[in-house]
Amino acid sequence: MAKGGYRGGPMGGGINANMIKQAQKMQQDMLKMQEEMENRTYDATVGGGMVKAVVNGKHSVVAMEINPEAVDPEDVEMLQDMIVAAVNEAMRKAEADASASMSKLTGSLNLGGLGGLF
């Protein structure tokens, strides 16, 4: 090994203060975004308005509305399918919003070879 040891690259540097500040800002922005996402709600309506599901950013169902006309004792399976479809669509909306928000946050960063990981 050369006299003085390895210094982290051709410029002798490693992580500089600007990179540390950028990482700290990103961490703060991510925490703020996560809190905002958890407080948002996403809804989906299926069956021509017969069933509506509302989920939050924590992926918890917070409300369910079922039109009384959707309740047919002879066809319970259709109601179950509508409930599942409404919940899944609301969850998909929450996930898409989270993904879009994360892309906005990380899109402005120059992450070099790490960009594909986020």
Q: Mind listing the pLDDT tens digit of every residue in the chain (118 residues)?
A: 455 554 555 555 566 888 888 888 888 888 888 888 888 999 999 999 999 999 999 889 999 999 999 999 999 999 999 999 999 999 999 999 888 888 887 775 555 554 444 4
Among candidate residues 59, 66, 60, 61, the one with its CA nearest the CA of residue 45? 66
H/E run at residue 61: strand 61-66
| Domain at 41-106: CATH code | 3.30.1310.10
pLDDT at 31: 87
Map out the domains of the chain as residue ranges. 41-106
The number of angstroms, rounded, from the C-alpha of 53 to the middle of its chain's C-alpha atoms is: 18
